[in-house]
């Protein structure tokens, strides 16, 4: 039997590629059968990942770089059964919480060096991390608060006794410039500091055809410093300070993919682009019924929703501002056969974003004979954003969301390292969380209805204001480990959590309904 020369050539090429691949792999690791040892703190004590009886996905800094994992949105693609919704809420194995409220905490807890974050910054790029640990499944006994789906713990690089530094910069399309750097300073034998930073600056790659601007750009930076002090082998302390700032032109709503539905506006199973149908029972309905707003409000021949996913038609450009300050103080005392750790955490979080609430354009929506007869030939007068008053026939609706919160937490841990089969990890936890939030929608319908009722011109927003949300919680927790054999360990975990104070005040109002005695207009903007 003769072998085709093409087949023989293919066999030779494949064999050569296999040999080269084996050589390259051997260069990276002298023994390809050796599994790299990864030390994790999933059980709040250092242990080998292979010996940790928890479903953990651990990524060292080298793993993050090789896999091109730059932030939490990239991380979800490397974790089994995970999804990051709206770049905010992470679900693992289908467990999470997609509710959008100041009082709605996530089902997957985010931690920074062991500090629980009520408001995690999922839009920040990773930098100067030692590793990222993702614990899948309920982690109530050791981590407790809001960890029914799992835990994501960012472990940052700590100061060392060596002088070193690094700087990387990358340039890409859309005038993108990214920088990362760190500097490690051994000050004395017992004192060291580490400074790290990250910057992201790029133009947007989504075109707003309404005004020919580019949106979805980024302008953010973050800086973090660690100061460690270890006067003795038995005692050490670590102070962490971090500041993040973002001033971008991105919004919560980027693109409307819509198959019109007469009741819902957009069908839940929307696959194509289009414009929403009018919502039955919406604020526009009475105005359409008497002929002040045209029917349909959204007309594909007039508004236009481009099919290109990188093109939008917004009559209001989005903005996104965020400022976060984080502080952490840790003390560790090594006793005989035990370790005592104290972790104090603080976070101050501020966010303010504006967006086009309907994500589309409705030009000349008020241009009807009745509108001209009642309001004049130039259109109706109202405020589309709470800042300016305009006279127009166009239907402009925009929204603003603000959130301000701060938290302080304290955790004490005591863990044993006895030589016998029984060991434990126990602790106390306390946290105080204060928050205020506001969601405002400037809908022209209310302003028009008010003017028809004889009220003066007003911006008439629909306003949901939560001036105070406060949560005080505490917990006692512990896990006990008993080595039945070298290969089998029994773990028993317990946790008791109490909330002794929860105060929530909410106001839903608009200026039309709140005139004549209400103090809505005296409420400050966040």
For residue 157, what pLDDT is reported? Answer: 96
For residue 214, what pLDDT is reported? Answer: 94
For residue 86, what pLDDT is reported? Answer: 62
Kindly report the number of other CB atoms within 10 A of residue 44's CB atom: 20
Tens-digit pLDDT string for the chain (526 aa)? 444 544 443 444 344 444 333 333 333 344 555 556 777 777 777 777 766 767 788 888 988 988 888 888 888 888 887 777 666 678 787 776 666 666 667 778 889 999 999 888 888 899 999 999 888 888 888 887 778 788 889 999 999 999 999 999 999 999 999 999 999 999 999 999 999 999 999 999 999 999 999 999 999 999 999 999 999 999 999 999 999 999 999 987 678 788 888 888 888 887 778 888 887 777 788 889 899 999 888 888 777 888 888 999 998 899 999 999 999 999 999 998 999 999 999 999 999 999 998 888 998 999 999 999 999 999 999 988 888 889 999 999 999 999 999 999 999 999 999 999 999 999 999 999 999 988 898 989 888 888 888 888 776 678 887 778 888 889 999 999 999 998 888 989 898 888 654 444 444 444 443 332 233 333 334 4
State phi, psi for 168 to the nearest 5 degrees: -130, 145
Kindly report the number of other CB atoms within 10 A of residue 193's CB atom: 16
Q: Which pTM was predicted? A: 0.84
One DSSP character per residue, 310-341 reads TEE--SS--EEEEEEEEEEEEEEEEETTEEEE
Alpha helices in 47-120 (DSSP H): 61-66, 72-75
Name which of 191, 144, 190 is nearest 44 in CA terms. 144
For residue 2, what pLDDT is reported? Answer: 43
Name which of 102, 98, 86 is nearest 465 in CA terms. 102
Q: Which residues pair with residue 375 across a beta bridge?
A: none
Gap between the Cα atoms of 365 and 394, Å rounded? 5
Q: Which residues pair with residue 503 across a beta bridge?
A: 470
Ramachandran bin of 146, using left for φ above 0, alpha for ψ from -120 to 50, beta for the remaining angles: left
For residue 67, what pLDDT is reported? Answer: 87
Q: Which residues contact 58 (CB under 8 A, 6 or more apart)?
A: 38, 40, 49, 131, 132, 133, 134
For residue 516, what pLDDT is reported? Answer: 29
Gap between the Cα atoms of 453 and 447, Å rounded? 10
One DSSP character per residue, 482-514 reads EEEETTEEEEEEEEEEEEEEEEEEEEEEEHHHH
Q: Hey, where are the domains in the chain?
A: 1-34, 39-156
Query: Under CATH, to which class is 39-156 assigned?
Result: mainly beta
């Amino acid at each position: 039997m003769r072998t085709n020369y093409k087949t023989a050539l293919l066999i030779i090429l494949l064999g050569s590629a296999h040999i080269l691949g084996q050589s390259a792999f051997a260069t990276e690791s002298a023994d390809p059968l050796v599994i790299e040892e990864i030390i994790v703190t999933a059980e709040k004590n250092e242990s080998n990942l292979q010996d940790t009886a928890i479903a953990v996905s651990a990524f060292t800094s080298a793993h993050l770089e090789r896999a091109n994992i730059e932030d939490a949105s990239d991380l979800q693609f490397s974790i089994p059964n995970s999804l990051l919704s709206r770049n905010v809420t992470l679900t693992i194995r289908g467990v999470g919480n997609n509710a959008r409220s100041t009082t709605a905490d996530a089902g997957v807890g985010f931690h920074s060096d062991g500090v629980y974050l009520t408001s995690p910054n999922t839009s920040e790029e990773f930098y100067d991390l030692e590793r990222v640990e993702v614990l899948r499944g309920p982690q109530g006994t050791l981590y407790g608060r809001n960890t029914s789906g799992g835990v994501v713990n960012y472990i940052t690089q700590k100061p060392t006794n060596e002088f070193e530094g690094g700087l990387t910069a990358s340039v890409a399309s859309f005038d993108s410039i990214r920088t990362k750097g760190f500097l490690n300073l051994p000050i004395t034998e017992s004192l060291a500091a580490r400074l790290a930073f990250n910057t992201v600056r790029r133009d947007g790659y989504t075109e707003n055809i309404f005004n020919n601007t580019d949106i979805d750009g980024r302008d953010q930076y973050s800086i973090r410093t660690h100061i460690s002090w270890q006067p003795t082998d038995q005692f050490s302390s670590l102070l962490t300070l971090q500041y993040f700032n973002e001033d971008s032109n991105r919004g919560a709503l980027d693109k409307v993919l819509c198959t019109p539905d007469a009741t819902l506006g957009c069908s839940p199973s929307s696959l194509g682009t289009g414009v929403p149908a009018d919502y039955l029972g919406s604020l526009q309905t009475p105005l359409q019924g008497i002929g002040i707003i045209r029917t349909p409000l959204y007309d594909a021949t007039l508004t236009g929703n481009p099919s290109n996913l990188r093109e939008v038609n917004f009559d209001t450009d989005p903005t996104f501002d965020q400022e976060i300050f984080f502080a952490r103080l840790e003390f560790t005392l090594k006793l005989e056969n035990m370790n005592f750790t104290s972790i104090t955490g603080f976070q101050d979080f501020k966010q303010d974003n504006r967006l086009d609430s309907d994500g589309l354009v409705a030009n000349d929506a008020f241009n009807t004979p009745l509108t001209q007869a009642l309001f004049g030939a130039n259109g109706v007068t109202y405020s589309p954003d709470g800042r300016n008053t305009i006279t127009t026939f166009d239907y402009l609706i925009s929204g603003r969301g603000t959130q301000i919160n701060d938290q302080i937490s304290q955790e004490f841990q005591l863990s044993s390292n006895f030589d016998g089969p029984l060991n434990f990890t126990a602790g106390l936890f306390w946290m105080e969380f204060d928050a205020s939030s506001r969601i405002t929608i400037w809908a022209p319908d209310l302003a028009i209805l008010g003017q028809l009722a004889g009220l003066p011109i007003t911006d008439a927003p629909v306003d949901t204001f939560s001036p105070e949300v406060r949560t005080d919680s505490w917990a006692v927790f512990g896990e006990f480990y008993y080595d039945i054999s070298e290969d089998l360990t029994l773990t028993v975990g317990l946790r008791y959590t109490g909330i002794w104070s929860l105060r929530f005040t909410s106001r839903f109002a608009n200026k039309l309904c709140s005139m004549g005695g209400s103090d809505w207009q005296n409420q400050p903007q966040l």
